[in-house]
Amino acid sequence: MAVDESVYMLGEGAGMKTHFDAPEIERLYPHRVITLPISEDANTNFAVGLALQGCLPIVDVISSDFLYRTMDSICNTVAKVNYVHDEPKTIIIRAEFMTGGPTSGQRIESLFAHIPGLRVVVPSNPRDAYSLMVHSLNYKGATVFFEDRMIEDATTRQQDRLDGSSADFRYSMLPHESFEPILTVVSYGISLRHVLPFYNETPIDLFDLAVLWPLDVDSVVRSVIRTGNLLIVEPDVLFGGIGAELAAQVIERVPCRVRRLGAPRTTIPACRDLHERMLPSLEAVKKVATELLVLR
């Protein structure tokens, strides 16, 4: 916002510090932090209007569950803006995966990855969140930007090792430094934290997808050609998810053994401990990886 005066932040309670974790933004740029009424669909259309005027709007829908109220404006308007206007527009819709019950935290990233015209990102750590936001503000198109409330604000030392070298941040890759990899592991978002410790014990190629659309299948295929094994660990429901799409595309291109870990297709529990258990654990990752390697 300091570099570009056309960047605006808007949403419910945006000017009242009710959900932004950086109140200094409101203090420094009071005219570009705009509080809007409790109407997610209208607020997203308001962002479209700003974009048509040449601004760079970031509309915060707060919880991912509220995105259901924006499906018309996002899928029928935002996703098509750059198909019906000569000059590409930049629009960012931000939402959080939260905790605490059946209506606070549903993972719906795969729904938006299915819609043509939308770019979908899910950072696994704060550093990538910053880089992806900067990249999204420079991207000519619409981005649905998910953050996970369960991810700590401080980047861990292990996460710092993800090189993020891809120019468009389609993925971050962590090739093992000492040995020829024997397994390709793909993850994203909060589920990556249960995969990183496994990397320290086993020679694997580890991919943090970060951007779910466009999906960088080519890089994963190159790794699977070497390892012959693919393990996908995702935080979302397995049925019809990003992992299923990735597995299908990889299998179509290279013979390999594939296993997937993810959340059960059930309503999110209110209890935080049960919510945590919906995520694939480190023990589950080790167990399935061992089964794959035995078949090697």
Chain segment 256-280, per-residue pLDDT in tens:
999 999 998 888 777 777 777 888 9
Q: How much is the pLDDT for 161?
A: 41
At 98 the three-state DSSP class reads coil
Position 118 scores a pLDDT of 96
Judged against a pLDDT cut of 80, whether residue 75 lies above it is answered with: yes
pLDDT, residue 238, reads: 92
pLDDT digits over 237-255, tens only? 999 999 999 999 999 999 9
Q: What is the mean pLDDT of the chain?
A: 85
User: Under CATH, to which class is 171-294 assigned?
Assistant: alpha beta
Give residue 149's pLDDT band: very low, low, confident or very high (50, 70, 90).
Answer: confident
pLDDT > 80? residue 179: no
Q: What is the pLDDT averaged over residues 8-25?
A: 70
Q: Which residues, other chains included, contact 197 with Cβ-Cβ below 8 Å and sequence gap of 6+?
A: 158, 282
Cα 168 to Cα 93, 171, 243, distances in angstroms: 18, 8, 21
Distance CA 3, CA 22 (A): 17
Q: What percent of the chain has pLDDT over 70?
A: 86
Considering the four listed CATH numbers 3.90.950.20, 3.40.50.150, 3.40.50.970, 3.40.50.300, the one that applies to the domain covering 7-148 is 3.40.50.970
| Max CA distance (Å), the chain | 61
What pLDDT score does 266 carry? 84
The span from the CA of 241 to the CA of 143, in Å, is 19
- Domains 7-148 and 171-294 belong to one CATH topology: yes
> With a threshold of 0.85, does the pTM exceed it?
yes
Cα–Cα distances in angstroms (integers) from residue 269 to residues 100, 128, 277, in the given order: 7, 28, 10
b/e code 30-50 from CB counts within 10 Å (16+ = b): eebbbebeeebbebbbbbbeb
- Domain spans of the chain? 7-148, 171-294
